[in-house]
Amino acid sequence: MCLWQRVVDADARCIRLQAFDQGDRDHPLRAGDRLHAVALCEYGAQAMAVHGGLRAAQSGGCAKPGLLVALRGVVLHRDRIDDLDGAIEGDAEVLVESDAGWQYAFVIRHAGATIAEGRAAVIHPA
């Protein structure tokens, strides 16, 4: 499952992506008749994964598998996202990286307004 449909921009530290299908009735994270805003944490984590994959490919390698181990400082600015028309946009930025894993900050916006933000940590399995 990949929630993002388009990479808008990326460099070694940051990525910006867009998604357009949050209103679809068959969205993989939809529960009943709604897509709860907590799904935006998965969007943030997937932004990290896409960024890691792009960085690895640029250096001629493959991204290492990782395990999401922590979400911190997550703020959801709305209850649901299936009622949003048009694209949502996500930014993720590397805060810390080592051989053990990464920490990223993410911000998800719709029509210029922040709808979710937080930090996520990923480690490489032993």
Q: Domain 6-123: which topology?
A: Thiol Ester Dehydrase; Chain A (3.10.129)
Q: What is the pLDDT of residues 97-115, one digit of tens each?
A: 998 999 999 999 999 999 9
Neighbours of 68 (CB within 10 A): 16
Q: What is the pLDDT of residues 60-101, one digit of tens each?
A: 998 888 999 999 999 999 999 999 999 999 999 999 999 899
What does the domain layout of the chain look like in residue ranges?
Answer: 6-123
pTM given for the model = 0.94
